[in-house]
Structure 1
Amino acid sequence: MSLHRIDSVDGDSIEIRLRQLGASKIQKVQGNLYFIKFILEDNFEVMYTYNINAKNKYFLQRIEPYPIPHGTFSNEVKIVDFIKKDIQKFKKGMKSKHFDDFLEATAQANKFVRQLDDFYLNYYVEEDSLISDSLGQINTAIDNLNKRLESIINHSKKID
Protein backbone atom coordinates (compact mmCIF):
# COMPACT_ATOMS: atom_id res chain seq x y z
CA MET A 1 0.00 0.00 0.00
CA SER A 2 1.45 3.38 -0.95
CA LEU A 3 1.93 6.24 1.51
CA HIS A 4 -0.78 8.22 -0.26
CA ARG A 5 -3.25 5.36 0.24
CA ILE A 6 -2.37 5.07 3.93
CA ASP A 7 -3.03 8.81 4.35
CA SER A 8 -6.32 8.46 2.51
CA VAL A 9 -7.47 5.55 4.68
CA ASP A 10 -6.49 7.40 7.86
CA GLY A 11 -8.27 10.51 6.60
CA ASP A 12 -11.46 8.59 5.83
CA SER A 13 -11.42 6.98 9.27
CA ILE A 14 -10.94 10.28 11.08
CA GLU A 15 -13.75 11.85 9.03
CA ILE A 16 -16.16 9.17 10.28
CA ARG A 17 -15.09 9.78 13.88
CA LEU A 18 -15.43 13.56 13.55
CA ARG A 19 -18.91 13.25 12.03
CA GLN A 20 -19.89 11.05 14.98
CA LEU A 21 -18.79 13.92 17.25
CA GLY A 22 -21.14 16.25 15.39
CA ALA A 23 -18.92 17.93 12.81
CA SER A 24 -21.26 19.85 10.50
CA LYS A 25 -18.72 20.16 7.69
CA ILE A 26 -15.49 18.41 6.81
CA GLN A 27 -13.57 19.65 3.81
CA LYS A 28 -10.61 17.71 2.43
CA VAL A 29 -8.04 19.68 0.44
CA GLN A 30 -5.41 17.81 -1.56
CA GLY A 31 -5.98 14.59 0.43
CA ASN A 32 -3.85 15.60 3.45
CA LEU A 33 -5.36 18.90 4.62
CA TYR A 34 -8.71 19.01 6.39
CA PHE A 35 -11.03 21.71 7.69
CA ILE A 36 -13.64 20.67 10.27
CA LYS A 37 -16.53 22.84 11.42
CA PHE A 38 -18.75 22.35 14.45
CA ILE A 39 -21.83 24.48 14.98
CA LEU A 40 -22.75 24.73 18.65
CA GLU A 41 -25.62 26.54 20.37
CA ASP A 42 -26.71 29.89 18.93
CA ASN A 43 -24.86 29.07 15.67
CA PHE A 44 -21.51 29.49 17.42
CA GLU A 45 -18.79 27.99 15.20
CA VAL A 46 -15.68 26.15 16.27
CA MET A 47 -13.43 25.24 13.38
CA TYR A 48 -10.22 23.24 13.15
CA THR A 49 -7.70 22.46 10.50
CA TYR A 50 -5.25 19.61 10.48
CA ASN A 51 -2.90 18.03 8.05
CA ILE A 52 -1.31 14.62 7.83
CA ASN A 53 2.39 15.06 7.15
CA ALA A 54 4.85 12.77 5.37
CA LYS A 55 5.68 11.07 8.68
CA ASN A 56 1.98 10.19 9.14
CA LYS A 57 1.63 12.67 12.04
CA TYR A 58 -1.33 14.99 12.49
CA PHE A 59 -0.80 18.72 13.05
CA LEU A 60 -3.92 20.34 14.54
CA GLN A 61 -4.88 23.99 14.85
CA ARG A 62 -8.14 25.57 15.97
CA ILE A 63 -8.93 28.43 13.58
CA GLU A 64 -12.32 29.60 14.88
CA PRO A 65 -13.35 31.34 17.07
CA TYR A 66 -9.67 32.25 17.29
CA PRO A 67 -6.51 30.66 15.88
CA ILE A 68 -4.30 28.62 18.17
CA PRO A 69 -2.02 25.70 17.29
CA HIS A 70 -2.50 22.54 19.32
CA GLY A 71 0.51 20.58 18.14
CA THR A 72 1.26 17.25 16.55
CA PHE A 73 -0.59 14.03 17.31
CA SER A 74 0.58 10.52 16.57
CA ASN A 75 -2.72 9.05 15.42
CA GLU A 76 -6.31 9.82 14.54
CA VAL A 77 -7.71 8.58 17.84
CA LYS A 78 -5.67 11.16 19.76
CA ILE A 79 -6.69 14.01 17.46
CA VAL A 80 -10.38 13.09 17.70
CA ASP A 81 -10.11 12.78 21.50
CA PHE A 82 -8.54 16.23 21.69
CA ILE A 83 -11.25 17.79 19.50
CA LYS A 84 -13.98 16.05 21.50
CA LYS A 85 -12.64 17.47 24.78
CA ASP A 86 -12.11 20.91 23.23
CA ILE A 87 -15.71 21.04 21.99
CA GLN A 88 -16.98 19.98 25.43
CA LYS A 89 -14.94 22.78 27.02
CA PHE A 90 -16.41 25.33 24.61
CA LYS A 91 -19.93 24.12 25.42
CA LYS A 92 -19.23 24.66 29.12
CA GLY A 93 -17.47 27.97 28.51
CA MET A 94 -20.36 29.33 26.46
CA LYS A 95 -22.52 29.19 29.60
CA SER A 96 -20.29 31.69 31.41
CA LYS A 97 -21.48 35.27 31.65
CA HIS A 98 -17.91 36.23 30.70
CA PHE A 99 -17.81 34.28 27.44
CA ASP A 100 -18.29 37.33 25.21
CA ASP A 101 -15.60 39.20 27.18
CA PHE A 102 -13.26 36.24 26.68
CA LEU A 103 -13.93 36.22 22.93
CA GLU A 104 -13.34 39.97 22.74
CA ALA A 105 -10.05 39.65 24.66
CA THR A 106 -8.82 36.91 22.31
CA ALA A 107 -9.88 38.96 19.27
CA GLN A 108 -7.96 41.98 20.58
CA ALA A 109 -4.90 39.85 21.38
CA ASN A 110 -4.92 38.32 17.90
CA LYS A 111 -5.34 41.76 16.31
CA PHE A 112 -2.31 42.97 18.25
CA VAL A 113 -0.18 40.00 17.14
CA ARG A 114 -1.20 40.56 13.49
CA GLN A 115 -0.35 44.28 13.71
CA LEU A 116 3.00 43.60 15.35
CA ASP A 117 3.81 41.00 12.69
CA ASP A 118 2.75 43.41 9.93
CA PHE A 119 4.87 46.19 11.43
CA TYR A 120 8.01 44.11 11.78
CA LEU A 121 7.79 42.39 8.39
CA ASN A 122 6.59 45.34 6.29
CA TYR A 123 8.27 48.43 7.74
CA TYR A 124 11.86 49.46 8.31
CA VAL A 125 12.62 48.73 11.95
CA GLU A 126 15.84 50.64 12.45
CA GLU A 127 17.59 51.63 15.64
CA ASP A 128 15.42 54.50 16.73
CA SER A 129 14.65 55.68 20.24
CA LEU A 130 10.90 55.91 19.50
CA ILE A 131 10.80 52.31 18.27
CA SER A 132 13.06 51.02 21.07
CA ASP A 133 11.08 52.86 23.75
CA SER A 134 7.75 51.78 22.27
CA LEU A 135 8.75 48.13 21.96
CA GLY A 136 10.04 48.24 25.53
CA GLN A 137 6.73 49.68 26.72
CA ILE A 138 4.82 47.07 24.72
CA ASN A 139 6.87 44.26 26.26
CA THR A 140 6.29 45.67 29.76
CA ALA A 141 2.56 45.99 29.13
CA ILE A 142 2.36 42.41 27.80
CA ASP A 143 4.32 41.15 30.80
CA ASN A 144 1.88 42.94 33.12
CA LEU A 145 -1.09 41.45 31.24
CA ASN A 146 0.43 37.97 31.52
CA LYS A 147 0.90 38.45 35.27
CA ARG A 148 -2.70 39.64 35.63
CA LEU A 149 -3.95 36.63 33.66
CA GLU A 150 -1.84 34.27 35.82
CA SER A 151 -3.40 35.86 38.90
CA ILE A 152 -6.90 35.32 37.52
CA ILE A 153 -6.04 31.73 36.63
CA ASN A 154 -4.67 31.09 40.13
CA HIS A 155 -7.85 32.56 41.63
CA SER A 156 -10.15 30.39 39.51
CA LYS A 157 -11.23 26.76 39.89
CA LYS A 158 -9.87 24.44 37.18
CA ILE A 159 -12.34 22.47 35.09
CA ASP A 160 -11.67 18.73 34.95
Structure 2
Amino acid sequence: MNQNTVTGDIIALKLRQLQTKDIRMIRSNMYFVDFELDDGTKVSYVFNITKGDKFFLQRMRPYAIVHGKFGTADEIVDFIRKDIAMFRNAVKSSNFPAFVKTFQAGSEVSRQIERLFLTHNTDPQKLEEIYDVLQVIIARISDLNESSERIEIK
Protein backbone atom coordinates (compact mmCIF):
# COMPACT_ATOMS: atom_id res chain seq x y z
CA MET A 1 0.00 0.00 0.00
CA ASN A 2 1.19 3.52 -0.81
CA GLN A 3 2.59 5.29 2.29
CA ASN A 4 0.89 8.55 1.20
CA THR A 5 -2.48 6.80 1.27
CA VAL A 6 -1.90 5.47 4.79
CA THR A 7 -0.77 8.88 6.05
CA GLY A 8 -3.66 10.60 4.28
CA ASP A 9 -6.13 8.12 5.77
CA ILE A 10 -4.80 8.83 9.26
CA ILE A 11 -5.23 12.58 8.73
CA ALA A 12 -8.71 12.05 7.23
CA LEU A 13 -9.76 10.00 10.26
CA LYS A 14 -8.57 12.70 12.66
CA LEU A 15 -10.27 15.44 10.61
CA ARG A 16 -13.55 13.49 10.55
CA GLN A 17 -13.45 13.69 14.34
CA LEU A 18 -13.55 17.49 13.89
CA GLN A 19 -16.88 17.13 12.05
CA THR A 20 -15.77 17.54 8.46
CA LYS A 21 -18.55 17.66 5.94
CA ASP A 22 -16.52 15.95 3.21
CA ILE A 23 -13.02 14.64 2.50
CA ARG A 24 -11.98 13.73 -1.03
CA MET A 25 -8.70 12.12 -2.06
CA ILE A 26 -7.22 12.75 -5.50
CA ARG A 27 -4.66 10.07 -6.33
CA SER A 28 -2.82 9.20 -3.14
CA ASN A 29 -1.30 12.53 -2.25
CA MET A 30 -3.92 15.29 -2.55
CA TYR A 31 -6.88 15.74 -0.23
CA PHE A 32 -9.76 18.21 -0.26
CA VAL A 33 -11.39 18.78 3.13
CA ASP A 34 -14.67 20.67 3.64
CA PHE A 35 -16.25 21.92 6.84
CA GLU A 36 -19.63 23.59 7.13
CA LEU A 37 -20.09 25.86 10.12
CA ASP A 38 -23.34 26.38 12.01
CA ASP A 39 -24.26 29.46 9.97
CA GLY A 40 -23.68 27.62 6.67
CA THR A 41 -20.23 29.11 6.02
CA LYS A 42 -18.01 26.66 4.19
CA VAL A 43 -14.33 26.35 5.13
CA SER A 44 -12.30 24.24 2.73
CA TYR A 45 -8.69 23.10 2.63
CA VAL A 46 -6.49 21.25 0.20
CA PHE A 47 -3.35 19.53 1.36
CA ASN A 48 -0.69 17.58 -0.47
CA ILE A 49 1.50 14.87 0.95
CA THR A 50 4.96 15.53 -0.46
CA LYS A 51 8.15 13.50 -0.52
CA GLY A 52 9.31 12.37 2.86
CA ASP A 53 5.80 12.49 4.33
CA LYS A 54 5.75 16.29 4.55
CA PHE A 55 2.63 18.35 3.88
CA PHE A 56 1.63 21.50 2.05
CA LEU A 57 -1.65 23.15 3.15
CA GLN A 58 -3.87 25.82 1.59
CA ARG A 59 -7.24 27.10 2.74
CA MET A 60 -9.51 27.53 -0.27
CA ARG A 61 -12.71 28.87 1.30
CA PRO A 62 -14.07 31.27 2.41
CA TYR A 63 -10.98 32.82 0.85
CA ALA A 64 -7.78 31.32 -0.50
CA ILE A 65 -4.54 31.54 1.44
CA VAL A 66 -1.42 29.37 1.53
CA HIS A 67 -0.51 28.12 4.99
CA GLY A 68 2.68 26.43 3.91
CA LYS A 69 4.60 23.33 4.86
CA PHE A 70 4.03 21.05 7.82
CA GLY A 71 6.32 18.29 9.06
CA THR A 72 3.88 15.80 10.56
CA ALA A 73 0.30 14.62 10.23
CA ASP A 74 -0.40 15.84 13.77
CA GLU A 75 0.83 19.34 12.92
CA ILE A 76 -1.54 19.66 9.97
CA VAL A 77 -4.51 18.29 11.95
CA ASP A 78 -3.73 20.61 14.88
CA PHE A 79 -3.50 23.62 12.56
CA ILE A 80 -6.85 22.82 10.93
CA ARG A 81 -8.47 22.18 14.34
CA LYS A 82 -7.38 25.61 15.59
CA ASP A 83 -8.27 27.31 12.31
CA ILE A 84 -11.79 25.85 12.35
CA ALA A 85 -12.21 26.90 16.01
CA MET A 86 -11.24 30.46 15.05
CA PHE A 87 -13.69 30.45 12.12
CA ARG A 88 -16.50 29.10 14.32
CA ASN A 89 -15.90 32.10 16.54
CA ALA A 90 -15.36 34.60 13.70
CA VAL A 91 -18.63 33.84 11.89
CA LYS A 92 -20.49 35.06 14.98
CA SER A 93 -19.08 38.55 14.42
CA SER A 94 -21.07 41.17 12.55
CA ASN A 95 -17.72 42.08 10.92
CA PHE A 96 -17.26 38.66 9.28
CA PRO A 97 -18.78 39.53 5.87
CA ALA A 98 -16.77 42.76 5.71
CA PHE A 99 -13.60 40.91 6.67
CA VAL A 100 -14.07 38.29 3.94
CA LYS A 101 -14.84 41.01 1.39
CA THR A 102 -11.73 42.95 2.44
CA PHE A 103 -9.54 39.86 2.26
CA GLN A 104 -10.86 39.02 -1.20
CA ALA A 105 -10.09 42.57 -2.33
CA GLY A 106 -6.52 42.15 -1.05
CA SER A 107 -6.21 38.92 -3.00
CA GLU A 108 -7.48 40.68 -6.11
CA VAL A 109 -4.78 43.35 -5.62
CA SER A 110 -2.17 40.57 -5.61
CA ARG A 111 -3.58 39.05 -8.80
CA GLN A 112 -3.70 42.43 -10.55
CA ILE A 113 -0.12 43.28 -9.56
CA GLU A 114 1.10 39.93 -10.84
CA ARG A 115 -0.80 40.31 -14.12
CA LEU A 116 0.61 43.81 -14.54
CA PHE A 117 4.15 42.61 -13.85
CA LEU A 118 3.95 39.60 -16.17
CA THR A 119 2.21 41.27 -19.10
CA HIS A 120 3.25 44.92 -19.19
CA ASN A 121 6.32 47.09 -19.21
CA THR A 122 5.32 49.70 -16.66
CA ASP A 123 6.60 53.06 -15.54
CA PRO A 124 8.75 52.53 -12.40
CA GLN A 125 7.41 55.76 -10.89
CA LYS A 126 3.83 54.49 -11.17
CA LEU A 127 4.86 51.25 -9.47
CA GLU A 128 6.47 53.24 -6.69
CA GLU A 129 3.20 55.16 -6.21
CA ILE A 130 1.29 51.88 -5.89
CA TYR A 131 3.89 50.61 -3.44
CA ASP A 132 3.50 53.76 -1.32
CA VAL A 133 -0.29 53.35 -1.20
CA LEU A 134 0.13 49.71 -0.18
CA GLN A 135 2.53 50.73 2.60
CA VAL A 136 -0.16 53.07 3.98
CA ILE A 137 -2.69 50.22 3.92
CA ILE A 138 -0.24 47.88 5.67
CA ALA A 139 0.38 50.51 8.37
CA ARG A 140 -3.38 50.95 8.89
CA ILE A 141 -3.84 47.20 9.24
CA SER A 142 -0.97 47.08 11.73
CA ASP A 143 -2.49 49.94 13.74
CA LEU A 144 -5.89 48.21 13.78
CA ASN A 145 -4.23 44.99 14.88
CA GLU A 146 -2.51 46.78 17.77
CA SER A 147 -5.61 48.69 18.87
CA SER A 148 -8.13 45.84 18.66
CA GLU A 149 -8.95 43.37 21.39
CA ARG A 150 -7.29 39.99 20.82
CA ILE A 151 -9.48 36.88 20.70
CA GLU A 152 -8.03 33.78 22.36
CA ILE A 153 -9.10 30.44 20.92
CA LYS A 154 -8.15 27.21 22.66
TM-score (norm 2): 0.93
Please show how residues 1-160 of structure 1 align to structure 2 within 5 Å: 5-121=2-118, 123-126=119-122, 131-160=123-152
**What are the ranges of 5 or more consecutive residues in structure 1 without an aligned counterpart?**
none
1:117-153 deviation digits (Å, cap 9, x = unpaired): 12222x2315xxxx22221111011100010000000
TM-score (norm 1): 0.90
How high is the sequence identity, in percent, across the aligned residues? 34
User: Which portions of structure 1, spanning 4 or more consecutive aligned residues, are displaced by more than 4 angstroms?
Assistant: none
User: Which of 1 and 2 has greater Rg?
Assistant: 1
Distance 2:114 2:19 in 1: 35
Tell me how many residue pairs correspond in the alignment. Answer: 152
Instruction: Report 1 or 2 for greater relative contact order, CA contacts < 8 Å, sequence distance ≥ 6.
Output: 2
Distance 1:57 1:100 in 2: 34
Distance 2:41 2:81 in 1: 16
**What are the ranges of 5 or more consecutive residues in structure 2 without an aligned counterpart?**
none
RMSD (CA atoms)? 1.3
